[in-house]
Amino acid sequence: MMDIKRRLLPFAGSAIVVLLDRLSKLWIESRIGTFDTWVILPGLLNIIHTENAGMAFSLFADANVVTRKFLLIGVSAAVTVLIGSMLWQVSGRASDRLQQAALSLVLGGAVGNVCDRLMRGSVTDFIDVYIGAYHWPTFNVADSAITIGAGMLLLDLWRSRQPVTQHVS
């Protein structure tokens, strides 16, 4: 029983990411008109309601509907299943906590964005970070979780490649 609980805990983390992502998007959709902007930190951060029919950086946003559905829903769903299976594999090992947390974030973010695509055909983005005229593409909670999780995976990979020093007496 303890093994199942240990395996399911990272999936609970993914569910929390999906819930936070969905709640934040519903809040934005109900309170801010499309392309309306709320200035939060002048010169740095706005909240702006946008709809992204494409993927990261609006790639494939202008593609035909069939291509978008196949690429953005089909491939995303397949990758989500792959990430979920990877998380299941590492969730039983106490030594892989960083990897578990990272995969949990990536899975939650991926599921959040796939749900948007399935329900609406686009993803609601609303976090607009910029410095002067230099804007980062608008993103959301799911995108943030994916990015943080990917960074944690890189850190885990780097840590696992560090040489072990042995002291010779």
- Give CA–CA dist 136/155, Å, rounded: 23
* Per-residue model confidence as pLDDT tens digits over 106-156: 999 999 999 998 898 889 999 999 998 898 999 999 999 999 999 999 998
Rounded to the nearest 10 degrees, how much is the dihedral formed by the CA atoms of 100, 105, 110, 113? 160
Say how far apart CA 29 and CA 48 lie, in whole Å: 10
Task: pLDDT band for 165, please (50, 70, 90 cuts).
Answer: low
Question: Is the model's pLDDT at 63 over the cut of 80?
Answer: no
Residue 73: predicted pLDDT? 81
pLDDT band for 76, please (50, 70, 90 cuts). confident
Half-sphere exposure of 61 (CA within 13 A, CB side): 12
User: What residues act catalytically?
Assistant: 125, 143
pLDDT computed for residue 32 by the predictor = 94
pLDDT at site 169: 57
Question: Across residues 71-81, what is the average pLDDT?
Answer: 84
The per-residue pLDDT for 3 is 78
Give the integer Cα–Cα distance in Å for 69 and 20: 25
Q: 32-62, pLDDT tens digit by residue? A: 999 999 999 999 999 999 998 766 655 555 6
The reported pLDDT for the residue numbered 67 is 72
Comparing C-alpha atoms, which of 61, 101, 116, 110 is closest to residue 81?
A: 110
46: left (phi over 0), alpha (psi -120 to 50) or beta: beta
The proportion of the chain whose per-residue pLDDT surpasses 90, expressed as a percent, equals 57
pLDDT, position 70: 72
